[in-house]
Amino acid sequence: MKFAFIIDPIAKLDPSHDSSVALMEAAQKAGHEVWIAQATQLSAIAGQVRAFLQQVELTPVELVEGNWVVADPWYRLLTEGWRPLEEMDAVFMRTDPPVTMPYLYATQLLDLVDSQKTLVVNSPRGLQAANEKLYALNFPEVMPETIVSQDKSVIQQFVEEQGAGVLKPLDGKAGEGILFLAAGDRNLNSLIEISTRWGREPVMVQQFLPAAAEGDKRIILLDGEPIGAVNRIPTGQDFRGNMAVGGRVAKAEISDREREICAAVGPRLKADGLYFVGLDAIGGYLTEVNVTSPTGIREIDRLSGTRLGETTIAWVEKSRGG
Ligand SMILES: Nc1ncnc2c1ncn2[C@@H]1O[C@H](COP(=O)(O)OP(=O)(O)O)[C@@H](O)[C@H]1O
Ligand SMILES: [Mg+2]
């Protein structure tokens, strides 16, 4: 089979951390062709979506004393050219957020690809519909108390009622722009003004969960079912657990309560074509649903001995009837 991965420039990927590389390696290991393109390299020509595709050959990472060792160089570009995406059996859309207008245009082009010929993961319609922060609001029974607003007095009142809150820009990732809000903080109004760009953009504000100190769990779901998890624990002064801001990763199991969360979210994810997703859970509550380019495979595989990339590629083979 032929697999295409729409990714950020390959030279910037980190094979020891990025799930996209784990998926590409798994496809190669299963004997498939691996091609890459960028979201900016899609064109519709004569009614057909084409991408500037480069075929790659990877040197897989190796686990040495608990750490991934990356070859230098770790990839080699083979042949390239503008080719119809429908030549591919599967396309993984794995461009990093933020979800900008050009990102949405790319998903609208991908939506033209015949789904009988090519499986697009995640489905372009699903990516268009699901904002990573707002999507969790579909599951109030497993979410902490949360508001979304651009109105200063609404946000102030929520923070006063809760005593403390966590503010999240709706287009952020990797801890970017995440703020701890405390009732009575002399900077509170100013923080709200800056984050909402003086009332022009809504933000999410969530009840502060003290359990965040014990970790923010990333749970990977494949076709609605949990397949692995890793915990991210804040270090130093930072209350955020994201790996990108220094969070320490630790081996994790999926608790009964977290399985309940997955059961609440899974059927909707399947229906929306959100096949490869990373849920974030803190203290038994769902805080975020990552659909664009969720990470975690490398950390989970390293700590739990799984091979989630291979699991995912095997699922694609099965759903393509291969
Ligand atoms: N409700 C909350 N209570 C306490 N800490 C939180 C809460 N929500 C998020 N955090 C912390 O902020 C980090 C980032 O939040 P998240 O919603 O996952 O956004 P993103 O990862 O997209 O930046 C989390 O890893 C966690 O450490
Ligand atoms: Mg997160």
Q: Is 0.85 surpassed by the pTM of this model? A: yes
Q: Average pLDDT in the 256-284 region?
A: 98
| 321: confidence class by pLDDT, cuts 50, 70, 90 | confident
Out of 83, 94, 217, 232, the active site residue is 232
* CA 209 to centroid of ligand 2, rounded, Å: 14
pLDDT tens, residue by residue, 27-78: 999 999 999 999 999 999 998 999 999 999 999 999 999 999 999 999 999 9
Give the residue whose CA is nearest to atom 14 of ligand 1.
Answer: 175
Q: Which residue has the tokens 């059961």?
A: 263
Q: What is the share, in percent, of the chain residues with pLDDT greater than 90?
A: 97
pLDDT higher than 90, residue 252: yes
Which of the residue ranges 111-115, 129-133, 234-238 would you say has the lowest mean pLDDT?
A: 234-238
* Residue pLDDT, tens place only, 205-233: 999 999 999 999 999 999 999 999 999 99
Q: From the candidates 96, 231, 290, 301, which is the catalytic residue?
A: 290
Q: State the pLDDT confidence band at 236, using cuts at 50, 70 and 90.
A: confident
- Catalytic site residue 259? no
* Average pLDDT value over all residues in the chain: 97
**pLDDT above 80: residue 322:** no
pLDDT category of residue 90 using cuts at 50, 70 and 90: very high
Output the 3-class SS for the chain: CEEEEECCCHHHCCCCCCHHHHHHHHHHHCCCEEEEECHHHEEEECCEEEEEEEEEEECCCEEECCEEECCCCCEEEEEEEEEEHHHCCEEEECCCCCCCHHHHHHHHHHCCCCCCCCEEECCHHHHHHCCCCHHHHHCHHHCCCEEEECCHHHHHHHHHHHCEEEEEECCCCCCCCCEEEECCCCCHHHHHHHHCCCCCCCEEEEECCHHHHHCEEEEEEECCEEEEEEEEECCCCCCCCCHHHCCEEEECCCCHHHHHHHHHHHHHHHHCCCCEEEEEEECCEEEEEECCCCCCHHHHHHHHCCCHHHHHHHHHHHHCCC
Compute the average pLDDT of residues 119-144: 97
Average pLDDT over every residue of 179-201: 97
Q: Is the CB of 233 under 6 A from ligand 1?
A: no
Cα-to-centroid distance, 112 and ligand 1 (Å): 35
Task: Look at residue 292 in the predicted model and tell me its pLDDT.
Answer: 97
Residue 171 predicted with pLDDT over 80? yes
| Cα→Cα distances 170→146, 214, 229, Å | 13, 24, 24
Catalytic residue among 2, 133, 302, 307: 133
pLDDT higher than 90, residue 299 = yes
Please indicate whether residue 314, judged by its CB atom, sits closer than 6 Å to ligand 1: no
